[in-house]
């Protein structure tokens, strides 16, 4: 754990503050459900982590991306797995959250719908961000003769924006863009993101229909 804290400081800070927010919500609003408290903590952790990553994205050059990729190489697969599992678990929590609001007042329903929508969007964005970081790590730590990802313009020193482009194209379209995937291992990762993206996109559509139906009933 100390090593993980050192190699992934932003994730550590965001996770700690997420736990703190969940505990604080239990103290400030003890009447809300346990699921709501967990989702509050999840939102704080997820959005804060993405804010820190985007701040780094605006400041970083390709050389900075390479340096960070080498530092974060250790435990990177575990971090990706845990974040993805947690994001998918948040969908299950949202289903349970929506199941319990049918008897609420309209004003309370609207608040819960907004909260669940905020959570879904945050989880979807987080998936795209963590996969983009994984692709950056693989690209800059890959030791093969040809690059693990092959950009259409022949870019040899991509920055975070290039990896975000590739990752969110997968999240939105559930298919690869004009970037070639050069290794079997990375194709497995791309397949995993495509499947997760399909689950999220389908869930977002389903939740949107559910929310629209709930507002009109």
105-138 confidence digits (pLDDT tens): 766 777 888 888 889 889 999 999 999 999 999 9
Domains in the chain: boundaries: 2-216
Contacts for 121 with CB less than 8 Å, ≥ 6 apart: none
Measured on CA atoms in the order 166, 180, 7, 89, is the torsion positive or negative? positive
Task: Write out the two tokens for 212.
Answer: 């629209």
Burial of 99 (0-12, 13-18, 19+ CB in 10 A): exposed
Contacts for 56 with CB less than 8 Å, ≥ 6 apart: 10, 68, 160
Q: Is residue 122 classed as helix, strand or coil in its secondary structure?
A: helix
pLDDT, one tens digit for every residue, the chain (217 residues): 556 677 788 889 999 999 999 999 999 988 888 888 999 999 999 999 999 999 988 888 889 888 888 887 667 787 888 888 888 888 888 888 777 776 677 667 778 888 888 898 899 999 999 999 999 999 998 887 888 899 887 888 999 999 999 999 999 888 887 889 988 989 999 999 999 989 888 888 888 887 777 666 6
Q: Is residue 215 classed as helix, strand or coil in its secondary structure?
A: helix
86-100 confidence digits (pLDDT tens): 888 888 888 887 777
b or e along 11-33 (b: 16 or more beta carbons within 10 Å of the residue's beta carbon)?
Answer: beebbebbeebbeebbeeeeeee
- Within a 13 Å sphere around the CA of 198, how many CA atoms are in the beta-carbon half? 7
Burial of 199 (0-12, 13-18, 19+ CB in 10 A): middle
């Amino acid at each position: 754990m100390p090593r993980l804290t050192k190699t992934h400081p932003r994730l550590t800070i965001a996770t700690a503050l997420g736990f703190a927010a969940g505990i604080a919500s239990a103290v400030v609003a003890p009447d809300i459900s346990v699921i709501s408290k967990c989702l509050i903590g999840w939102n704080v952790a997820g959005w804060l982590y993405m804010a820190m990553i985007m701040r780094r994205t605006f400041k970083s050059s390709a050389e900075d991306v390479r340096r960070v990729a080498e530092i974060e190489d250790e435990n990177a697969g575990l971090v990706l797995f845990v974040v993805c599992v947690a994001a998918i678990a948040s969908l299950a929590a949202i289903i349970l959250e929506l199941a319990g609001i049918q008897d609420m007042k309209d004003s309370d329903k609207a608040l819960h719908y907004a909260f669940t929508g905020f959570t879904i969007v945050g989880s979807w964005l987080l998936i795209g961000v963590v996969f983009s970081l994984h692709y950056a790590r693989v690209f800059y730590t890959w030791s093969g003769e040809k690059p693990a990802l092959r950009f259409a313009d022949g870019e040899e020193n991509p920055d975070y924006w290039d990896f975000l482009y590739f990752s969110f194209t997968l999240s939105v379209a559930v298919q690869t863009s004009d970037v070639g995937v050069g290794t079997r291992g990375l194709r497995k990762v791309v397949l995993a993101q495509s499947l997760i993206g399909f689950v999220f996109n389908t869930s977002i559509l389903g939740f949107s229909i559910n929310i629209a139906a709930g507002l009109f009933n």
